[in-house]
Chain A
Amino acid sequence: MDTKETSGIRRHEVNPRTLAIDRWMARLINVGGVGVIAAVLGMLVFLVAQVVPLFRGAELEELPSAQLPAGVAALVVDEYGELPCAVMPDGELRFHRLDGSLAKSWRPDLPGRSVTAVRAYPRDGIVLMGLDDGSVAEVKVGHRSRFEAAGARVVEADPALASVLPIVPGAALESVHHVRGPAGRVVLVRHASPAGARLVAVKVAERRALGGKVRSTPSAPAAVGAGLAGVVGEVLMANGERILAVLADGQAVVFADADGSYPEVQRFRPFPDSPGARPTSLGLVLGDVTVVLGSDQGHEEAWSLYPQRQADGSEVRAFGRIHVNEALGGRADGFAPSPVNKCYVASSRGSLEIRHMTTGTVRWSGPPVESFLAGFLSKNHDQMGVLESSGRLRRWKVDDHHPDGGWRAFFAPIWYEGGTGPEHAWQSSSGNDEFEPKLSLIPLIYGTLKGTLYAMVFALPVALLAAVYVSQFLRPELKRVIKPTMEIMASLPSVVLGFLAGLWLAPLVDGHLVALLLAVLALPTTALVFGTAWSRLPLAARRRIPPGWEFAALVPLLAVSVGAAWLAAPSVEAALFSVRDPGTGQMVADFREWWRLATGMSYDARNSVVVGFVMGFAVIPVIFTIAEDALSNVPPALTSGSLALGASRWQTVWRVVVPTAMAGIFSAVMIGFGRAVGETMIVVMATGNTPVMELNPFSGMRTLSANIAVELPEAPVGHTHYRALFLGACCLFLMTFVLNTAAEVLRQRLRERYKVV
């Protein structure tokens, strides 16, 4: 302190500068301290904020509606929803601006023929027209957008007639469908005949000639389900391999392509749980293998093609019900799929909804439209529109960034398209365009717990036994060296452990698995047997090994037992784990083969045993240090009292020390558990990182942490995959945070208990 008296400051009065500095430092430290702590805790807030959008439904905001002419037959909308094209029943294409004015009108040049049926394929910008002479005309709508110099967007349309194909000469077509697959185009038409509605399919081989013109060669028309009465709706699916027709009595009939003919292969009744229900809406979701059916009573079900085991053991792709969705608000009366994801617009008398097929969730639900004629979801999944029969086009701005998110997507079993049942699966990327990411976190959580389990199976006994021995029996002068050694082990970089596990230990263990298993059995047995024998010896002999040095005496003994296990391994393997080699027919002693045959489970060289063993290196020191502290801190009065009453040293430890320190030991175990849960590099490097869900000790796993390390650098910012990885991080955070907090609370209890003692 300033001792020199400056003017104005009297004796015993503090220099104002000192006080000012003190005040300022107090403020600075307060602000800084609170700031740092807030920043650290803000981390959790940030992580949660990144994850929250995944669980939001869609938010819609209605835009001004546009007036199109009444009596529209189909609707095709451009990417931006700015120039809707109304297809009139007579084949006229009317392009309207959003203010209702007509931008363009176009009519295909079909002299002498008139249009009797129309179907739009908004995803491809194609309108199919069925003609009264039995031909099918294909019209390209030709929406185009360009950007003018000022940055303004102009959407134009240039429709063109692409082809006219005769299908059923002379018949007026009632309905037309087509699909383009890798094998060519398939056209399906329905026309009236004296016997009722008939379905006819034609395969069209398309070859692009040199000039760029497409030459089409249609096959002979094939009658689909000849004599089938009362077809009310039909869809062409899976690249034309299957045709599904819904009959007036509510049955669905499936026809399969068999070299040009379409025999009936399956017949099922949708809504089997409510026999009176009749399908009133029918549509395909993106991918063309799943059909969503809505009933007159508001039921909704998704039926999909997937491999099903038949009675004769073969597998056939057939329809099965994969989802029973939440009921619609009333009679289903409209369906419009999204061109980019598995969402669709489902309209009913009671509601208008956006639903997601895979997760079976309702993304948004609103009041019903007057009468649903056609609907669309835009290619950017940012606009929805519904055309009412009055010609009013109602439009909504869609704010739905993660349509495939939601609790069910991440945690519930989901029946994916092509799967044979509901499953938890993590498969985030693939080369395929129509591939749907599977983002269930359950296999990752399972893998995390599996790795932790195997690590703990190995680490717990070693760490706890060592802690008991070091704290209670070891000579104090040795303890001063051994404890820091074990502590240093805790700071070994996990990349070093992972590297050793993957490149050095895994091949080693692979060849000597039986030896390893035998050693695991031999070590404790040797110690117990020798200890028992030793304690029976006369005192004079026993005094040769002073208390606290047992471990040193045990080292050669254990080395011998491991050596014996090593030598005995080949004969044990031959005796117990021999299998017949299918190639040569000889008996071969090989544990790996035996495991595969005996358990039917897989065997990988980089497996959970290796991971568990190496993760033990990371976990043992943590558990050891904390448990040893807890055991050492048991008040000496307790142990002295016990010994004085005549208990042996083991009785004292087992009956007095361990129970007293139980809470501390438990907290050590939990902290070790937390460390194993979050371990990353060891798992990345020492397993195959396959997200399997089996407890098999000889297969790998994919943990939450390894998954993040591997996939996050590649995940596009803000996408569902990116946020799903953040969700994984949140799970990890929560798991470890809860474990550690529980451990901390236990430890504080323990401290109070000591106080009482």
Chain B
Amino acid sequence: MKDPVPNVPDAKPPAGEAFVWFTSVGLVLGLTMVAALVGVIVLNGAKAFWPAAIERAELADGRVLLGPLVQERLKPGTPPAAGLLERQYQIGLREQNGQSFAWIDASAVRSSSLPPGALALERMENGAAFLLPAELRLAGGSRLAASDPAFLSRLESLIASVAERRERLAEVEKVRIGRINTELQRVKVGLRKAADLGTPDAELKAEAARLDADYQLLAAEARSLRDGFPADVLAGTDGAGRPLEFPVASLVRAWEPNRLGLGGKLALAASRAWEFVSAEPREANTEGGVLPALFGTFAMTVLMSALVTPFGVVAAIYLREYARQGAVLRMVRISVNNLAGVPSIVFGVFGLGFFVYVLGGNLDRLLFADELRYNNNTPVLGTGGLLWASLTLALMTLPVVIVATEEALSAVPRGMREASLACGASKWQTIREILLPASAPGILTGVILAMARGAGEVAPLMIVGVVKLAPTLPIDGEFPFLHMDRKFMHLGFHIYDLGFQSPDSDAARPMVFASTLLLLLLVLFLNLGAIAIRNRLRERYKTSAF
């Protein structure tokens, strides 16, 4: 329909033009929704890292708040028409205030200012803190006033040295002592078994003693590291002028948002964003980073694709090239296609019932009978874990890959296939040399779409092995390196858990939005990849069409 309005001056208006306008409302709404959704997530996600200005607000009742203004909204429970507003301030200092956020009636704020030297602190415990710094009391006894130009850089270098020591301590405590604990657990099971069967256990006992000695050594090292934290103290006052003191050893980061220029704010936001994707979570997941969740999502998705691709492709080749085409096959094809529309939670139920309890439970009985018997019946494979989660999602995404592969195979021009056969190639040779290479982009599109679906799926994972906090990553330096029986963290579940199960939901909010943004980016990236490949594929067929 190029130009339905003919170029005649006195043409009667075409019938039903109003309805054309009406239908466009659907498109406008749809696009607005996408834009609003992405906008809200991007804005709030970015805000999580942005160093907000610290406000000093004097209230009508004499209290003084010091902290960033988070949001302003209609006071809930009041009629909207009354227009009563309230403001949320992040006041930090949870150990003193009981909570780190406060709702204040907008009318109760008498005056507010932005004190230039106000300092924001990120701490190991109890969340953020805001103060007007006075001085730095150094361990040697000397003092450095906040007015000194070197104050902030000195504080930052102290915090950096603390961070470095903390990292060493974590290395000792988590990695090395953790390794010994795993060993010790294994030896203990062996000892219990030996005691039960009456077999000699001298060797095991010796090993246990050796491990214990190693442990003592490491524990001593950890102690000395812990005792070696500097005794410097940061002193200042809160908004009302009451003194505050923070040991530098408890700080993670410090900045002066009210003095930072745009560049400084951007740099700080970038560094906080980097910490977010590269660090372990702290404080019940509400602080720190999401590395384990990101990594868990990644490991699960990769494992899932590794499982789903061969099976999906083989099934599709069978359906398209080998199976006898007929009514039965058509029904099978419809059923397989329809499985893509079966709710993901149903796959989760199947995963739990079959993979975890039936397969895992029986494998445990076969392979880990000793562990079961001498370790309080703790299941190894008979409980949710990375392997079962990946298998469940692989089953869920199988129809996607089968359909995509079938479509790609059927899109290969008939002439290519016939030419190959006419040259004397066998069926398998034709498939391997002609069909698969030609349909590879299509298959890849299917796999990427499957990955995108798998990466964003939460409901089935909730029942087959995702946990809110996994002590160890599913991959580490110990044999067999990839621990498929371990429980793992997942970005999607992280969002659910932080947003809805967190004890301090206000404090968790920025982290949830940031995690949401990350997950969204991941899924969008995978989808755009699939679309890009599909477009290239189309062009390729355009040129190669006979």
Contacts and interface: CB of A to CB of B under 8 A. Distances in A.
B15 interface: yes
A18 B426 contact: yes
B27 interface: yes
B496 interface: yes
A469 B27 contact: yes
Given A482-B27, A570-B81, A554 B21 contact: yes
B98 interface: no
Given A514-B80, A685-B496, A712-B352, A649 B520 contact: no
Contacts of A650: 14-17, 19-20
Interface stretch (B34-42, B202-210, B217-225, B437-445): B34-42
Interface stretch (A295-303, A331-339, A369-377, A733-741): A733-741
Interface in A450-479: 461-470, 472-474
Given A22-B427, A685-B499, A737-B338, A511 B26 contact: no
Interface in B406-452: 424-429, 431, 449, 452
Interface string B300-330: 0000000000011011011101110000000
Tier of interface size on chain B: 35 or more
Nearest to A485: B34
A502 B26 contact: no
Q: Choose among B26, B338, B347, B453 the residue with the greatest number of A CB atoms under 10 Å from its CB.
A: B26
B345 A709 contact: yes
A21 B335 CA distance: 31
B297 to A, nearest CB: 11
B403 to A, nearest CB: 12
Contacts of B17: 531-532, 534-535, 648, 650
Contacts of A21: 426, 428
Contact of B315 (A32, A467, A495, A736): A32
Given A488-B527, A489-B34, A496-B41, A705 B21 contact: no
B15 A26 contact: no
B524 A488 contact: yes
Given A33-B323, A499-B496, A555-B28, A531 B19 contact: yes
Nearest to B318: A33
B334 interface: yes
Interface stretch (A43-51, A161-169, A172-180): A43-51
Given A492-B523, A736-B341, A649 B25 contact: no
A440 B463 CA distance: 22
Contacts of B449: 491
Interface in A479-494: 482, 484-489, 491-494
B335 A589 contact: no
Interface stretch (A101-109, A252-260, A671-679): A671-679
B31 A485 contact: yes
A550 B21 contact: yes
A736 B352 CA distance: 20
A50 B527 CA distance: 36
A37 B315 CA distance: 7
B457 interface: yes
Interface stretch (A133-141, A261-269, A521-529): A521-529
Nearest to A458: B29
Contacts of A740: 337-338, 341-342
A583 interface: no
B458 A648 contact: no
A37 B319 CA distance: 9
Contacts of B79: 573, 588-590
Contacts of B352: 712
A464 B26 contact: yes
A681 B496 contact: yes
Contacts of B23: 465-466, 468-469, 473
Contacts of B398: 36, 40
Interface string A362-398: 0000000000000000000000000000000000000
B78 to A, nearest CB: 8
A649 B5 CA distance: 9
Interface string A494-505: 111111101110
B273 interface: no
B519 A713 contact: no
Given A30-B322, A531-B17, A679-B343, A496 B456 contact: yes
A651 interface: yes
B262 interface: no
Tier of interface size on chain A: 35 or more
B350 interface: yes
Contact of A680 (B11, B345, B505): B345
A589 B28 CA distance: 32
Give the interface SS of chain B, mostly helix, strand, loop or mixed. helix
Contacts of A511: 73-74, 76, 80
Interface in B489-522: 492-493, 495-496, 499-500, 505, 509, 512, 516, 519-520
A717 B496 contact: no
A624 B59 CA distance: 52
B495 A47 contact: no
A661 interface: no
Given A496-B495, A528-B22, A25 B342 contact: no
B311 to A, nearest CB: 5
Contacts of A237: none
A436 interface: no
A399 interface: no
Contacts of A46: 350, 353-354
B453 A491 contact: yes
Contacts of A495: 456, 458, 492-493, 495-496, 519
A585 B516 CA distance: 45
Interface string A576-594: 0000000000001110000
Interface in B380-403: 395, 398-399, 402
Interface string B80-99: 11010000000000000000
Given A33-B323, A650-B19, A40 B40 contact: no
A524 B343 contact: no
B322 A33 contact: yes
A542 interface: yes
B24 A469 contact: yes
A462 to B, nearest CB: 5
A487 B444 CA distance: 18
B349 interface: yes
Contacts of B348: 708-709, 712
B457 to A, nearest CB: 7
A511 to B, nearest CB: 4
A633 interface: no
B341 A675 contact: yes
B1 interface: yes
Contacts of A569: 80
Interface stretch (A194-202, A242-250, A345-353, A724-732): A724-732
13 contacts: A32-B314, A37-B319, A474-B27, A491-B453, A494-B459, A499-B496, A528-B19, A539-B8, A558-B25, A680-B344, A681-B492, A712-B352, A741-B335
**The 6 nearest A-B residue pairs measured at CB:** A33-B318, A678-B343, A465-B26, A650-B16, A493-B456, A531-B21
